[in-house]
Amino acid sequence: MPSDLSSHSSTYRHLSTRFEPQYGALWLILDPKPIPCVSLELIDELRRFHEGMARTFEAHDLGKQPIRFFIAASKSPGVFNLGGDLSLFARCVAEKDVKTLRKYARGCIETLYPYIIGFDRPITTVSLVQGDALGGGFEIALAGNILVAERGAKFGFPEVLFNLFPGMGAYNLLSRRIGMQRTERMLQNGKLYRAEELHAEGIVDILAEDGRGENAVYDYIVRNENRGIAREGIQRVQRRLFPLRYEDLLDVADIWVDTAMQVGRREIRLMERLARSQGKISRRDPISLVPPGSKSA
């Protein structure tokens, strides 16, 4: 482990890291507690992690970076990430606490953006989804250059069910893969999608058998370790032709906050009910987080 990253790794509560120098692979393993969602505490730890990454990059010349692949994964059984902290959302909306909700939304963008742009280094980012990825968890998965998913994983944006939309990059990230029209349909239908369906759509890049997700990541690394120059060039072209500006993502997050402040009491009660379901996730199938009446594709 590069020293700037290992010096703080033991102090994390909601994530862990693993560095494999033979592959140039740094793993970031999400482990938010007690609920596998994006909390303010996880955001704070991700900020500290990114600071360590920045120090590592400063200590090495661009062509001698020890990290060539960065993999985001999850430690929660059956769950990649359930997305936003619904309990926090419900409280902020009920109390009209715009300041806290805006801090949360902007913190999500601040910690997701480096992953989207590959830390502005010749690094290939990989999302390994071995469980359900909902809302913001789906956005995290989409942020990687390569999305690897096991067959049993499910994906979806349930925000529309409580009159919201995913505001931390979903529109931008998904439309780069499947275009605006199909993106808007996915954001508004509230459906759950199986990994194999999204693989057929071109959203999931690599489909792995259940329990074989890590093997698929290593297979990808081995196949591509000698193609670094070409891979970096293609990624630079993508960022030039389909840019995602940090300021634009912040503007979208602000629109999300403004929209959240307009939802009514019915939606707040639904957020609270789903938040209770999130709290029981270790004993329940993640699909139960989607309320009756919604559809699975």
The CATH superfamily of 3-283 is 2-enoyl-CoA Hydratase; Chain A, domain 1 (3.90.226.10)
Helix, coil or strand: residue 14: coil
| Whole-number pLDDT of residue 2 | 53
Q: Which of 135, 142, 122, 108 is nearest to 235 (CA)?
A: 122
For the chain, the average pLDDT equals: 88
Residue 297 pLDDT greater than 50, yes or no: no
Place of tokens 């939309």: 165
Q: What is the pLDDT of residues 227-252, one digit of tens each?
A: 767 767 777 787 777 778 999 999 99
| Whole-number pLDDT of residue 293 | 43
Helix, coil or strand: residue 72: strand
| Whole-number pLDDT of residue 7 | 46
| Whole-number pLDDT of residue 5 | 54
Q: What is the pLDDT of residues 82-130, one digit of tens each?
A: 999 999 999 999 999 999 999 999 999 999 999 999 998 889 999 999 9
Of 136 and 58, which is predicted with more confidence?
136
Give a three-class secondary structure readout of 195-224. HHHHHHHCCCCEEECCCCHHHHHHHHHHHH
Q: Which of 106-120, 254-268, 282-296 has the lowest mean pLDDT?
A: 282-296
Residue 291 pLDDT greater than 60, yes or no: no
For the chain, the domains span 3-283
